[in-house]
Structure 1
Amino acid sequence: MPARHTTAAAARAAVAAAAHATKGLEAALRATAPAEANGSKTDGRKQRWTQHKEERRTELVDGTLEAVRVLGADVGMDEIAAHIGVSKTVLYRYFTDKNDLNTAAMVRFIEITLLPRLTETLVEDVDEFTMTRGVISVYVQTISDEPEIYAFVTSSNYASPKVLADSEKLIAQVVSYAMTDRLSDRDLDTSGFETWAYALVGGVQLATHWWMVERRLSQEALINHLTMLVWTSFVGITEVGGSAELFNAQEHPLPHFPSDAAP
């Protein structure tokens, strides 16, 4: 594919799409806060108190992330509270239980670490192959840099399936938007972009999760294999103009392998 210069408008649109998707995670975070009494009239004092609680929750979540980095993914509420310098009672004043705290930590990690890095890479003025490898590298590197936090927020004991699904949806939406922006002006059928974005994001996430647990190959090898998978998918899609009908109408023999070439 020829290189394409990303316009400032496209960059702003991609960032706006990411910001819009993030609202779902912010709502999930707010939903974990203690509910206000129904039917009570909102006044200035209540609004200030609500803002204070949200700010305090954020401080405690940031402290939790730091505690996990230092003490490990299996850290308990007592250890988290001690590391932050508060009593466990304070934690339970803002979080109903460890599931609640875990959910808030997951949201915070995505909002302040993963999403900004991915968004920045998606709007860089580079050719499509460089962007593809860059996005994969950023995702793998971000997860690799924070192994304890990754294990903490994806723990089967505490992780919220809804927020995990929301995080996958968020990333897939941003990738889908980037694909549309990059490829829709090339007279491609874009009806499959959302499907492909979810499939690619899900595949990269699952492969990275497997790698984080098993570590059977180097980080560079993982990035190489994932880039090969994603890029060849893009090439195959563009060769048929994104048309499933044209793809299905073709014959599908395996290509010649490099070893079949004559010496």
Structure 2
Amino acid sequence: MLKASDSPADGRAARWKEHNQQRRAEVVEAAVNAIEDEGIDVSVRRIAQRLNLPRPVVYRHFDGREDLDEQVRRRIVEMLLAELTPTLVPDGTLRDAIRHAVGTYLAWIDRHPRLHHFLITGSRDRQAVTSRAVTGARTTVAARIERLVAAGLDAHGLDADLARPTAFGMLGLVDAVVNGWHSGETEALTSTTLTGFLTTSLCSMLSGNARAVGIELDPDTPLRGLLGE
């Protein structure tokens, strides 16, 4: 005997839900590709054309353009974190680890300048600064840095209260410099030059703050040693 949940109507509903989810994912992927090819102001009509769909069908799967933009930002963040997250591990010296993480981030931007532009400005003057996807990505990266800084402080018998502001301070410095770089004022700087500048700046920041709490921090010391591992 069939249960109520096994009725044909429930089966159709489940298949329709799966179809909608797949179509949403296809639209988001098409939007990401359209931004890569045409820029951040690409229209929904152009996105729909890539899928051979009428424009109203695209909107049927989202609560307006703002919702579509947010889902696109979420997908872009996933792409970025897939490359950046593996670099946030204690490997090599402190300087090496910072250079690797920063270099990976800037290399991603070099390959996807329009996607990065979309993350920080949105489309058609929509601002991405309040995006949950972007905010969540910053929090995720900051949390990983915070754990590393906390481990270093703990290894020296110090309170880890400064770990969180240190992590967000590092992230804020990188964001400000990189966003300024992409604003057009400093485009003459290569990503390699900027990676070196940010690596030196972050090492100096960490060394100075460590000295303030009685630690002499050499950025060329193996990171695992600094973490007491």
- 1:94 and 2:94 equivalent? no
Q: 2:91 aligns with which of 125, 139, 145?
A: 125
Aligned position for 1:193: 163
Aligned position for 2:210: 238
Q: Deviations over 1:156-189 (max 9, x none)?
A: 5224413233332222222212333455323333
Whether the 8 Å contact between 1:99 and 1:159 is mirrored in structure 2 is no
- 1:162 and 2:134 equivalent? no
**Secondary structure of 2:81's partner?**
helix
Count matched residues.
Answer: 200
Aligned position for 2:39: 72
Q: Distance in 2 between matches of 1:64 and 1:129?
A: 37
Whether the 8 Å contact between 2:85 and 2:141 is mirrored in structure 1 is no
- 1:172 and 2:142 equivalent? yes
Deviation of 1:146 after TM superposition, in Å, equals: 0.7
Decide whether aligned partners of structure 1 residues 48 and 197 sit closer, same or farther in structure 2, where only a CA change above 3 A counts: farther
Whether the 8 Å contact between 2:153 and 2:159 is mirrored in structure 1 is no
- TM-score (ref. length: structure 1): 0.68
**How much identity, in percent, do the aligned residues show?**
25
Q: Distance in 1 between matches of 2:162 and 2:15?
A: 46
**Secondary structure of 1:192's partner?**
helix
- TM-score (ref. length: structure 2): 0.77
- 1:228 and 2:228 equivalent? no
> What letter is aligned with 2:26?
E
Q: Distance in 2 between matches of 1:179 and 1:84?
A: 46
Listed as ranges, the gaps of 5+ residues in structure 2 are: 1-9, 216-229
Deviation of 1:241 after TM superposition, in Å, equals: 3.9
**Secondary structure of 1:213's partner?**
coil
Deviation of 1:152 after TM superposition, in Å, equals: 2.4
Q: Distance in 1 between matches of 2:191 and 2:167?
A: 23
Q: Distance in 2 between matches of 1:159 and 1:61?
A: 18
Aligned position for 1:151: 117
Whether the 8 Å contact between 1:102 and 1:153 is mirrored in structure 2 is no
> What letter is aligned with 2:86?
E
Q: Deviations over 1:222-263 (max 9, x none)?
A: 1111111111111123334479xxxxxxxxxxxxxxxxxxxx
Q: Distance in 2 between matches of 1:238 and 1:152?
A: 36
Decide whether aligned partners of structure 1 residues 123 and 47 sit closer, same or farther in structure 2, where only a CA change above 3 A counts: farther
Superposition RMSD in Å? 2.3
